[in-house]
Amino acid sequence: MIRTRRLLIGLLFAATFAAADMPRTPKHPATDTYFGIEVTDDYRWLENGDDPEVRRWSEEQSAHTRQVLEALPDRSRFAKRLEELNLGASPDYLGLSSAGGRLFALKQQPPRNQPLLIALRSADDLESTKIIVDPHQFDSKDATAMDFYVPSHDGKLVAVCLSKGGSEDGSVSVFETETGCMLKDVVPRVNYPTGGGSVAWNADSTGFWYTRYPRGDERPPADQNFYQQIYFHKLGTPPEQDRYVLGKDFPRIAEIDLDASEDGRWVLATVANGDGGEFAHYLLGPSGDWTQITKFSDLVPQVKFGPEGTLFLLSHQGTPKGKIQRLPRDKPQLAAAKTIVPESDLVIRSLTPTRSMLYVVDLAGGPSQLRAFDHDGKPLSVPETKPISSIGQVVKLEGDVVLFRTESFLEPAAWYRFDPKSGKSTRTALFRTTPADFSDCEVVREFATSKDGTRVPLNILRRKGIELSGANPTLLYGYGGYGISLSPAFRPSRKVWLDRGGVLVIANLRGGGEFGEDWHKAGHLTRKQNVFDDFAACAQHLIDRRYTNPKKLAIEGGSNGGLLMGAALTQHPALFAAVIAHVGLFDMLRVELHPNGAFNVTEFGTVKDRPQFDALFAYSPYHHVQDGTTYPACLLLTGHNDGRVDPHHSRKFVARLQAAAPSGSAKPALLRYSFDTGHGMGTPLAERIAQDADVYAFLAWQLGMSGGAEGRK
C-alpha cells in the first residue's frame, strides 16, 4: 500500500508539473510567400541556436523535462536495468577490415563510452589484440569519437577521422599500428555530416587521397559545408600543400566515397548527388588519369574492385531489385558491361568480390541472406542463414575465405568465417554475449494493408504465449526513407520493454529499400505521403489484430523517422497515446535552407518546385498542428551539435505543440535537449543508456505501465 501510494504521488506530481510549469515561448511571427500562399511562422526566432535567448529557452525546456522525467518512479528502475543489460555485455566488434595480414575493428567494450580501434592477428586470436586508438586519451569526458578509419595496404598505418561532441566535423590523423603513436599529419575538414568523408591509401603507404570541404575563403560562408572535392596528402608535408585531384565539376551537394584496389594502384570515387539515391563513379588508374564510368542517370549505386583487372557493378537500370554486371578496368565502358547475375525476386543490397567468387547480400523485405557466385555468375553454395535475421558486413580474407556478421532481433551479433573449400561456416571469437535473454520471446512477421492496397511488413517482437487482449502496451517503430532498410538487429535495451509486457513492432515502410528501388521511389519526393499512410495502416493492423488499442499504443522514430512521427501525430492524433521523436525533421518548408537539408532535396523535394512544394506543405508536421487539439504525449530528443538535422526543428515543433494544447491538457510535449551530442553518432554509451531510461520511463507513464514488474532476468 505504501509503495502504491508513493507511485501515485510520483505520477501525479509529474503530470501536474508537466502541465502547470511548462516554460512559455513568445511568438515573433514571420511570413513567407510560396506561389502566392502566405505561410506564417511564429517561432522562426528559435532557429538561431547561437542566440543567447534561444540557448536560455533551450536550457529552461531541458530543465523542465528533466524535472518531469526524474519524478517518474520508473525512471531509476529502468536506468538500473539498462545499465545491467548494456554494461554486462561482452565486447562487440564493428567495422572490420583486413590489411597487411591483420584484422582491424572498432571494439565497443562496455563500460567504455567510445569504441576502441584495435588490430589483431585473426578473428580467433583475441589475445593478440592491440589497441591503436582509444578516444579517451584525447578527451576525459569521452566526447571525442571516431567517424571512420582506413588502414594502409601494408597494415602499418591507419588514417583515423576524429570529431567532438557528436558533431561529425572531423579531421584525419595518422597512427602507427604497432605503437599507437600519432604522426604529425593532421588533415582538417575531411568529414562533415552533410556529405560525410572518406580516405583511400596509395600503394606504398606514403600518402592518401581524401575528401575535403572548402577551407578559409575558398567559398562563401554559406558554401563552407558543400562542394566536397578530392585531394591527395603526402605524409610528412603540411596539408596546405596537398594536391587537388578531382571534384570541381561535382554538384554542390556531392557526397564522395573513396576506395582503393588491393594493390593501391587504382582508386574508385563514388559520388552521390545528395541523399536521393543517384550515383556516379570515377576511376583513377596507374596512368594518373580519371575516367568517368557511370552517370547519375545510369542507376548504378555500387561499383567494386574485383581481381585481375575487373570491376563489378550493381545496376538498377531496368531492374529495380538489382542485377550484377562485370567490366574490365582498363576499358570501363558501361555499354560493354556483361550481366552475370540477373534480377530475381530478391533485392541485391551489396556485393563482395574475392579471388574467384562473388558474395552477394540480398534483402527479402527486411531480413537478409547470403548468396555466392563465380565470376561468370554461376551459383555456388553458401551457408544457410536463420529466418528473420540479417547479414551485415562481409569481409574478404585470403583467397575466397570471408568473414560475415549476422544477427537477429533475438540473438546478438557474431562474426562467422566461411571457407568455400570445406563448405562450412564457423563462429569466430568475435561474438557478443549479453545478460539480455530473449529465449522467452519470439518474432512473427505480419502484413498490414495500406490505404492504396499495398502490403506492408511488420516484425512483431513479443513474449511467447502473449494474450491478444487488445490491451498490450505496444511500441511501433518506423523510418521509411532514403532507400534505407530496417533489417533485424539485436538491441539489449528492448528486453526491458518486453519484460514489462510490452510488444515491440518494427515496420518495413515504403521509402525504404526492403523491396528494391521501386519500394524506395514509392515513398519519396511527391509520394512521401505513402510512407505515412503505410505507418497508419500498421498501427490500425495492430489494433484490429487485438495486440493493443489507441490508449496503449506508442510510436517511435528518428531523423527521417522523426518526420514520420510528426506526420503521424498531426494526421492521426487519436490513434496513439505517446510519441517518441529523435532528432526529427518537422518544418519541411525550410529544411533546404540549412546545410544538410540541401542534400535532402533529391529525397524530399524543394519548395522552389510547385508540385513538390504542394506535397511538402501538405504533410509538413509543424504547419499542421491545430490549436485546441489534444495530441498524444510527446517526448522530442535532440542534440545541439547535430549537423544532419538542425535541432531548431525540435525546438520549433515542441513550442508549437505546447502552444496548441487545450487548457488543462494532461498530455505533455517535452523537449530533451542535449548540449553535448549531435545526431547520435559518437554519443557516449552512458548517455545512450540515459536516453533509453528517459524514453522507457516516459512510455511507462503514458501507457499506464508504471509499477509493473521490475524486469525478469
Strand partners, 349: none
> How far is the first Cα of the chain from the last one, in angstroms, to the nearest whole number?
25
**CA-CA-CA-CA torsion sign (430, 435, 436, 437):** positive
CA distances from 699 to 200, 441, 451, 554, 596 (A): 45, 21, 28, 7, 31
Q: Are 202 and 230 in contact (CB under 8 A)?
A: no
Long-range contacts, 437-445 (Cβ 8 Å, 24+)? 437/495, 437/713, 438/409, 438/410, 438/411, 438/495, 438/498, 439/410, 440/464, 440/712, 441/410, 441/498, 442/410, 443/388, 443/408, 443/409, 443/410, 443/488, 445/365, 445/366, 445/388
User: Of the listed 173, 261, 487, 559, which one is catalytic?
Assistant: 559
- The angle that helices 52-70 and 685-702 make with each other, rounded to 10 degrees, is 60
Active site residue 344: no
572: exposed, middle or buried (Cβ count in 10 Å: 0-12, 13-18, 19+) = middle
What are the beta bridge partners of residue 568? none
Q: Where are the beta strands (DSSP E) in 508-639?
A: 553-558, 578-582, 633-639
Residue 217, C-beta contacts closer than 8 angstroms, at least 6 positions apart: none
> Does 524 participate in catalysis according to the annotation?
no
Q: How far apart are CA 503 and CA 473, in angstroms?
A: 6
- Helix, strand, coil percentages (3-state) for the chain, rounded to 5, are 25, 35, 40
The single residue of 153, 520, 541, 679 carrying the catalytic annotation is 679
User: If you search the block for the grid coordinates 487488445, which residue do you land on?
Assistant: 470
What is the Cβ-side half-sphere exposure of residue 515, based on CA atoms within 13 angstroms?
16
Does an H or E element contain 518, and which? helix 517-521
- What DSSP character marks residue 496? H
CA distance 171 to 599: 21
Q: How far is CA 284 from each of CA 179, 195, 246, 289, 364, rounded to the nearest angstrom?
A: 32, 21, 10, 6, 35
CA 442 to each of CA 409, 426, 681: distance values in angstroms, whole numbers, following the listed order: 9, 25, 30
What does the longest C-alpha to C-alpha distance in the chain come to?
82
Laid out side by side, the sheet with 357-363 consists of: 347-353, 357-363, 368-374, 379-380
In this structure, the dihedral spanned by the alpha carbons of residues 458, 463, 469 and 475, taken in order and rounded to 10 degrees, is -50
Residues identified as active-site: 559, 679
